[in-house]
Amino acid sequence: MRAAIVALAGDFIAGNAVETNTILFAMKSVIVGTAGHIDHGKTSLVKALTGIDADRLEEEKRRGITIDIGFAHLNLPTPNGETFRLGFVDVPGHERFVRNMLAGVGGIDLVLLIIAADEGIKPQTREHFDICRLLSVKRGITVLTKSDSVDADTLEVVRLEVDDFLRGSFLDTSHAPLLAVSALTGVGLNELRSALTKIAAEVPARDSGALARLPIDRVFTMKGFGTVVTGTLVSGTIRKEEELEVFPAGQCLRVRGVQVYGAAAEQAIAGQRTALNLAGVSTDDLARGMTLAPPNILHSTSRLDVSLSLLPSAKPLKDRARVHFHAFTMETIAEVRLHGAKQVAPGGQSYAQLRLADPTLLLPGDRFILRQFSPVVTIGGGLILDPTPLPKAKQTQEFLAILERGPAEAMLEARIERRGQHGISLSQLVAETGLRGEFVINRLNGSTQEKSVRRIGDSFLSASAYAQLLSALTTHVAEFHKRNPLVTGVSTEELRDKLHVSGEIFSSAIDTLVRDRKLEVAGELAHLPGRGVVMKDDETESKQTIEQAFASAGLKVPSLKEVLASLKVDKVRAQKIVTLLLREKTLVKVSDDLVFHQIALTDLRQKIVALKGTSPKIDVGRFKDLTGVSRKYAIPLLEYLDRERVTRRMGDERIIL
């Protein structure tokens, strides 16, 4: 029964864990991918090394060919007493199943390029090798299989052919092993294990502290477990009972169980073949090509700015060409929008934007493969630089070059710079880069200390953009003064609306200008230092006329329209003068159509307060007698006193407070 489950699930085994978690996580995990032409013995070699048949499908066993990716694992002891855990991803070699091969090699650390000694280099040998180079695989071993089926002279001829084929590549035999083996007789297997041990020691550990990402390569239901997914954990750590988000679907779900290479575990770490038992989701909701990651941090994308390379064997790639796009386990159709070029020549490179037919989760530094739309052959690949290009913004070659080659600090500064005066929040930087917030802050500490970047609350702003913002603010205020000489200053809210920046950034800029004495703020109005209202002679005269008209009227004020009609200035300027008097609080608007001089209202308050000693209450009639005004004025004035907390209405009377 256990063997049957292993054959079915591959990465997920029912029953008790065969190894303790302590042993499991003390081991260094390395993912080994196979590559090579059909029937060159990839699956047989994996079985000879591990004892596991990676062909799990009934059709594969019946036809004797690998159709989909398969998995196996092997523990290799090292001379110093350590143990390496090798996870093998066995891929199909038939040209019809290259898309399945691509779903398996995206997360590998090293490759076994397998070439049959009785056939030599064949079409998929070349295509798989090209794919490995495009994916920037840096380590591997070339294995001549079926060495028992040829004589020594033939084997030597194949060696020479392969040596020439690999020259100048990461598998150049001057520094990478070229071994002849036989899965049938066992010849060369010990040498291959030794070579795997040596190279596995050179593979740098993946970052288990990064944000977790698990590209899904298999989805199935298992009796007693429910929905299970498997994949190579390319970064981070996934723990039992934690919540993950499915990209691009956006659904959140819980991890019920974790298994690593068939052993139950509390967690899986980067670089391990991982199986997850998921709660709250059915197999219908999941598929190969989706990715699991922490919730509410990262975002799916359908546009990618990339650096792409074309194979020398490819045809020229024209702008707006349609291609098949592959990254990790996902594939979709993409349109290529070249930056600054009409086409890419064979063997050439270019910056481009890829517009995907289906959204996906990818991050800077991820690799991808492009295959021709028709006929479907591998033509190139490259590096993802920016999975979040700004809408309607053409990226400059300089910006993309920094993302491609610059250190983390330069890349972060470039992303901050492109946001201009709006800045970028820490959470946005995390979503754009996939870097943890602590890492971002740590890398930008030097930039903030050198004052090339400003941190304002939770946002970052380049020093140059901040300087431009300060200049724009003072320019807006100066222009407002020029257009509105009769207004003390411009509303700070109006200023912020014009600049379209966050409240935090705006407040910081205002505070900086006030501190540097380049701006003054009184209440909600901002104005240039020493800049008051500038009035012409007729405007000064009109202001005095208005003020005198209301000051002399006491509480029996005239209609504002009547006063304005008697002025020498036009209606617009007259209204601005009234607004100025109201802002200066020389005049006070009591209701929509009643304006009083502040002296008259101050006298009224004093009269009312003086009554409290003899009579704590006052009604409308007594108020009219006291002030000598009609009901037209009395009611608005009493309501004004209520608002000013001089009185409080109780029924038909007011209590003097």
Domain boundaries, the chain: 2-202, 214-293, 301-398, 406-534, 540-656
How does DSSP assign 378-398, residue by residue?
Answer: EEEEEEEEESSPPTT-PPPHH
What is d(CA 199, CA 137) in angstroms, rounded to the nearest whole number?
Answer: 13
Say which CATH architecture domain 406-534 belongs to: Orthogonal Bundle (1.10)
Residues of the chain predicted below pLDDT 50: 1-10, 12-25
User: What pLDDT is recorded for position 15?
Assistant: 33
Number of helical H runs and strand E runs in the chain:
21, 35
Q: For domain 540-656, give the fold.
A: Arc Repressor Mutant, subunit A (1.10.10)
Residue 610 class from Cβ within 10 Å (0-12 exposed, 13-18 middle, 19+ buried)? exposed
Residue pair 283/203 in contact (Cβ under 8 Å)? The answer is: no
- Say how far residue 329 (Cα) sits from the centre of its chain: 20
Rounded Cα distance between 536 and 509, Å, is: 33
CA distance 494 to 476: 10
Burial 477-486 (b: 16+ CB within 10 A, else e): beebbeebbb
Give the CA count within 13 Å in the CB-facing half-sphere of 525: 16
Question: In which element (H, E) is residue 405 found?
Answer: helix 397-405
Encoded tokens for 539:
């405007």
Stated pTM of the model: 0.79
Cβ atoms of residues 91 and 36 within 8 Å: no
Q: How far apart are the first and last CA of the chain?
A: 89
Question: What pLDDT, on the 0 to 100 scale, is given for residue 530?
Answer: 72
Whole-number pLDDT of residue 586: 86
Provide the 10 A C-beta neighbour count for residue 586: 16
Backbone phi and psi for residue 578, each to the nearest 5 degrees, phi listed first: -60, -45
DSSP 3-state of 259: strand
Are 126 and 47 in contact, with CB atoms under 8 Å apart? no
Measured CA to CA in angstroms, residue 357 lies from 190, 319, 336, 444 at distances of 47, 17, 11, 35
**How many other C-beta atoms can be found within 10 angstroms of the C-beta atom of residue 238?**
25
What architecture (CATH level 2) is domain 214-293?
Beta Barrel (2.40)
Beta pairing partners, 353: 305, 337
Helix (H, G, I), strand (E, B) or coil at 255: strand
Kindly state the tokens that stand for 309. 């390379």
Alpha-carbon span 312 to 168, nearest angstrom? 15
Measure Cα distances from 516 to 223, 456, 512, 513 in Å: 71, 18, 6, 5
Distance, in Å, from the CA atom of 461 to the CA atom of 150, rounded to the nearest integer, reads 67
pLDDT at 176: 96
The strand pairing partners of 310, in sequence order, are 380
Measure Cα distances from 325 to 54, 358, 632, 637 in Å: 26, 10, 78, 75
Please report, to the nearest 10 degrees, the dihedral formed by the alpha carbons of residues 469, 474, 479, 485 taken in order. Answer: 150
In b/e form, how buried is each residue of 22-50, taking b as 16+ CB within 10 angstroms?
eebbebbbbbbbbbbbbbbbbbbbbbbbb
**One-letter amino acid identity for 367?**
R
Give the whole-angstrom CA distance, residue 104 versus residue 569: 82
DSSP line for 52-96? -----SHHHHHHTS--S-EEEEEEEE-TTS-EEEEEEEE---SGG
Please indicate whether the domains covering 214-293 and 301-398 agree at the CATH topology level: yes
Looking at residue 7, its amino acid is A
- In whole angstroms, how far apart are CA 322 and each of 302, 357, 367? 14, 10, 19
Q: For position 92, what pLDDT does the model report?
A: 83
* Rounded CA separation 380/134 (Å): 7
Give pLDDT tens digits for 185-200.
999 999 999 999 999 9
Query: CA 644 → CA 47, 598, 601, distances in Å?
Result: 90, 13, 11
251: helix, strand or coil: coil
CB atoms within 10 A of CB 584: 13
Quote the CA–CA distance of 51 and 88 in Å, as a whole number. Answer: 12
Alpha-helical regions (H) of 484-521: 492-499, 503-515
Nearest to 361 by CA among 217, 207, 211, 248: 248
Q: What is the dihedral of CA 32, 38, 42, 43, to 10 degrees?
A: 110
Beta-ladder partners of 73: 87
State the number of CA atoms in the 13 A half-sphere of 493 facing the CB. Answer: 2
Three-class secondary structure of residue 162 per DSSP = helix
Please choose, from the candidates 201, 264, 258, the residue with its C-alpha nearest in 3D space to the C-alpha of residue 22: 264
Q: What residue type is assigned to position 5 of the chain?
A: I
Calculate the dihedral angle through the C-alpha atoms of 368, 369, 374, 377, rounding to the nearest 10 degrees: -170
Residue ranges of alpha helices (H) inside 135-267 are: 152-166, 189-202
Burial degree of 652 (CB within 10 A; 0-12, 13-18, 19+): exposed
Fold of 301-398: Elongation Factor Tu (Ef-tu); domain 3 (2.40.30)
CATH of span 2-202: 3.40.50.300
pLDDT of residue 393: 67
- Report the candidate in 613, 614, 625, 612 with the shortest Cα–Cα distance to residue 654: 612
Q: Which stretch of DSSP H or E encloses residue 424?
A: strand 424-425
CA–CA distance, 146 with 154 (Å, rounded to integer)? 12
